[in-house]
Amino acid sequence: MKRFFIALAFAWGAMSTQAQPQPPHLIPAPAVYSAGKGFVQSSNGQIVKSSNCKIVKSKRALCRRLEGRTLADWQLKSAYWLELGKKGVKIVAADEEGVFYAQQTLKMMAALNSSLSCCTILDWPRFRYRGVMLDESRHFQGKDFVKKQLEMMALLKMNRFHFHLVDNPGWRVQIDAFPRLTQLTAWRPEAFFWDWEKNRTGGLFVEKGTPGAYGGYYTKQDIADIIAFADERHIEMIPEIEMPGHNYETRAAYPELACSLPGGGKDPWELCPGKESTFEFLEKVLLEVFDMFPSKYIHIGGDEARKNNWKLCPDCQARMKAEGLQSAEELQSYMIRRMERFAHEHGKRIIGWDEILQGGLAPDATVMSWHGIEAGLQAVRAGHDVIFTPTHYCYLDYHQDSTQFRPVGRHLPLEKVYSFNPLAEGISEAEAHHVLGLQGCLWTEHVQDAWHAEMMLYPRVFAIAETGWNPAEKKDWPDFERRASVLSEVARKWGYNVFKKAAE
């Protein structure tokens, strides 16, 4: 992407030497900020092209400005040096990504401050993975909503969007090889998830076009549009195709993928890993997903598999005997390892929820640690990469205060989210490179509408963003709270529904 001229909201002639320089209200806060002399007035956040912007893309030039600091190659790719002065702006970066982040800093400065101090900023990220997950299965929001969140993520210098596209209540992505996934199980008669959950024992999906049907899915063109939008903002879109559990919808569309028991078994939750047809199905699905998503990673789920049917299914038992597997946990590990090999054959790496540790971890798998931090520590010490998203810090479906609409789960206020340090729990310096970063997860069992989803995301995503970018020693809750309040007001003016505490 070539963006060699920054869009700015500065009137260069309007300088003042009367006021005292103040640091900008930036989130995430820059690593190094130095105030200069004089001010630049922004024009009410209006973005206008300026020829007064010089961009230098040079790793050598950037390294000279690091003043002896050593950054990893992936950090250098995102790092930038920015000078805002009386004659204009100068940006030095090693890569187009660093230029983009410098531009986002200027964009936020112009939006948040009517008077900008001339300054110099040197900035780089702490973690390489700074993500948000959106559950689109339980409640479908659609392309425009996703693009809107990607815009905010870019401003916050976040770079991974985890797309939870399939789960029990609905399949949300076009798969040409298996059209019933979207013809049937992208639609249900009840809009609110818990109404559907209460009544789903009869297999309550409806055909597309049924009067009153609730749902939707992303066409391949929708995905292409979203990915192009994300690419311009240096955000990687990571799709999730759940296996083996959370597959009620898949089995409703293709019941032959169930275990070979009367009625498909006692529990319609899982695919049957004993049948070769299950792997044929998953491989065909993944081939189409790989074609749609150029991301390095594919998320394969792996969580909450109940495994009860597998202990009774003759196909599963035959598979276990043939492969020398001693338990249902080892059967799940066999499935995940096999899918990892398939992913590798197509140039992909897998991510799975921390249950993929059960029965033995696939050789190159990345673990998404959600139960807490223990599974992540276990994976790190076994030499695996980890993304931390522990429920008690990063699950954004939990309520922010008791006055919130549909409050559920534990109390997870902004301060608690901000307090999370992915490297605080006994990870050595030698192991730290295996911690890729962190992610905020918005599950939508209780979140039906777009306005509600944004209320759950913001301002807590601001805290996820700053934790992912800033060194732990620079975190300052009172200062962050002040900055989050300023950005929240601006975000509301931009049309985002940002949560307000009862006292606000």
* Residues recognised as catalytic: 167, 246, 304
CA 260 to chain CA mean position, Å: 37
Cα atoms found within 13 Å of the Cα of residue 168, Cβ hemisphere only: 22
Contacts of 63 (CB under 8 A, 6+ apart): 76, 94
User: Is 108:26 a contact under the CB 8 Å cutoff?
Assistant: yes
Strands 129-135 vs 160-164: parallel, antiparallel or unpaired: parallel
CA distance 73 to 75: 5
* 123-162 b/e (C-beta count within 10 Å ≥ 16 → b): bbbbbbbbbbbbbbbbbbbebeebebbbebbbbbbbbbbb
Cα atoms found within 13 Å of the Cα of residue 426, Cβ hemisphere only: 7
Question: Cα torsion for 95, 101, 102, 105, to the nearest 10°?
Answer: 180
DSSP string over 455-486 = HHHTTHHHHHHHHHHS-GGG--HHHHHHHHHH
Retrieve residue 332's tokens.
Answer: 């799940």
User: Is 356:242 a contact under the CB 8 Å cutoff?
Assistant: no
CA distance 226 to 216: 16
Strands 129-135 vs 435-442: parallel, antiparallel or unpaired: parallel
Cα atoms found within 13 Å of the Cα of residue 205, Cβ hemisphere only: 24
User: Is 388:369 a contact under the CB 8 Å cutoff?
Assistant: yes
Retrieve residue 124's tokens.
Answer: 């780089």
Cα–Cα–Cα angle for 406, 407, 413, nearest 5°? 140
